[in-house]
Each structure stands twice: as structure tokens, then as C-alpha cells.
Amino acid sequence: MRMDTSCAPVFARHETFHPRYGWVKKAVDAVAADANAFNRDNAIVELGVGKNMVRSIRHWGISFKVIAATKGDSARLSTCGVTAFGEAIFGDRGWDAYAEQLGTLWLLHWMLLAPPCNVPVWWLAFTEFTGIEFTEEQLEQFVIDRTRGWAEPNPSSIKKDVSCMLRMYAQGHSRVGFDELIDCPFRELELIRPSSVTPGAFRFLVGDKPSLPPSIVAFACLDFLARVESGANTVTVSRLATEPGAPGRVFRLSEAALLGLLEQAAALHDDIDVTQVAGVPQIVFAGEPAYVATELLRDYYRWALGDAAVRFAGPLLVAGEEGQRVVTRNVGRLPVAVQ
């Protein structure tokens, strides 16, 4: 995968705010009630946040692919709709509407970087940047070099994006106050930490991720295939571990760690298997990857929350490009959980 085909040239739309607890649900509920919710004069009252935070919540809702812009005079003023993925997970009767499962945060991290990605600085940092230990300035320069001839973003926008990304993920970020520290869920993923060797530097944590559920990894692998190579029913673990934009890069897993998680997932799910062909490990599945991925995700939440919480009123597809289609609540082929 390449940045120019995976990412939109969007920079610094977060208004300097990283995503907070409850913002994803807030975005879904606001748009479900009113497609024009983020453009209303009373949006700050309805959402209970400041004007800049209204724009930030909209940006993060679109970036996590739980809502999608539909139409309008400009990207910033367009109306929005809830996606199939957003309704299935964060709707009123969704699988994990308040992100109580840590697996949901891992899922959102994957969806943030899955194509089409609305945060190219995040995509470059996680999937193309090869440094393990780095400073903010080094990462900023990498992004400047990498986006030259593509989007040519203002260096100040890149600086804001890098700063926001580090505040979003880095545990123990020295510039973050206590209120932000307890209000940033993605630090629980332990993907970035301040360096223990170089003052002011940071370090990506590569390898095993004890809190990453095997089912979420398997979903991401098949969702990746559904987006870039629909129709395939096998893929090597090496590709999933090393290709830019693939789950191994996004989750910062070594190939051995990814293989271990996929073997655990295969032991849990009948829909996938891990085999060796000429000594090369690969995952095998039957059917379109988006459909298989959806079943894996449904199984994950069924096991986590119980059968009663994960039954459906109709056909459901939350993976791949179909998962980003806008749905109308309580109408037609609705991916809504029913009690």
C-alpha cells in the first residue's frame, strides 16, 4: 500500500484535541439524530463542548469511520450519516457503545489507519516510519520529506499532527496535564512511551501486545484484504506483518507476534486457519474477506458480552468498504443489535 492511495491529504483537522472518552459515541448519536448536527448554531449546547471541540469530534468521528460526510458546500460543512460500522458498534443497541472492551479501542485504532485514512501523519508514523526511538523533530522531518510532492502541508500543520498523535498514544507524555492523562483512552494500548534513555525522545513498543485480542487482529487482517484485494482467500503472514498499512505495522507487531495471535484466532474461529506452504505461514479462509471478518467480529463481541447482546435484525456487514456505507437507523438492512 502507498500513502497516496491510502490517505486523504488532510492535516490538523483535530483542532489540537486528541479523541476523548465518549467522543465516538457522541459523534454517532449526534448524527443519528440530525445529519446537520455539527453545522447547527446550537451544536456547542447540544454536544456540551466548545466550538473547536465540535469540529474535533466531527473530525474524529469521520476518521474512525463511525460517521461519514455525505453532501454539502465544503468538506467542513457537509452533512453526515452514521456508517454501518458505527451503528453496529456504537449505536443505541450496539455491540460496545461505550467502548468498555479494550478490544474496541484496538479496533478503533485499526479503523483510524485503514484506507481511506483521514490522518496521514498517523499512517506514516505507524506504517512507514522505521525508527524505534525518535524525537518529535525527527518524526516531523520524516513526514515533511514523505509528503513532499504529494500534499505539501504547512510545516506547522505537521507539527500539530505529530504533537496530537504523541499526546494521544504516549504514556507519560510530560506535557500532558492530569485531566488529559485520564481522558485519553488510547494510551491504554501502550504503543508509544517516552524513551528511558534519551530525554525528550519517544519509543514505539514493537512485539507482543498482551491486551490485543486475537479476534481483533484476525478481523483487521481480513478487513485489510477486503480493502486492498477483495476476492483473495489466502494471504501470507509475512505480508500482513510487513506491508505498509497492514495490521502488523498498524499494531506494531513483529512477524512472530502476529503469527502467534493468528494461530490463537484460528483456534477460536472455524472460519479461518493458519497453514504452512513450503515453510511459509499463511492464513486461509473461505468466502469474501469482508464477510468472514464481520463474523469474526460478531463472535468476539458475542463471547465478550453474551449471545443476547449480539443478535441482529438483518444482514450485517461492517468490514471493508461496505462497512463505511451510510445507514438509516431502523430502516431496511439495518446492522442493529437487538435485545
pLDDT tens digit string along 198-231? Answer: 888 999 999 999 999 999 999 999 999 999 986 7
Dist. CA 123–CA 113, nearest whole Å: 6
- Torsion, CA 61, CA 67, CA 69, CA 70, rounded to 10: -170
Dist. CA 114–CA 127, nearest whole Å: 11
pLDDT band at 179 (very low <50, low <70, confident <90, very high): low
Give the pLDDT score at 173: 55
Is this model's pTM higher than 0.85 or not? yes
| Residues facing 194 on adjacent strands | 202
- Range 327-331 average pLDDT: 59
Task: Judge whether residue 165 has pLDDT over 50.
Answer: yes
| CA R_g for the chain | 19
pLDDT band at 255 (very low <50, low <70, confident <90, very high): very high
CA dist list (Å): 176 to 182, 298, 301: 10, 36, 33
Dist. CA 259–CA 298, nearest whole Å: 22
Contact 67, 61 (CB under 8 A): yes
Q: Cell 456504537 belongs to which residue?
A: 90
CA-wise closest residue to 284 among 214, 221, 224: 221
| Residues facing 80 on adjacent strands | 69
Dist. CA 166–CA 192, nearest whole Å: 8
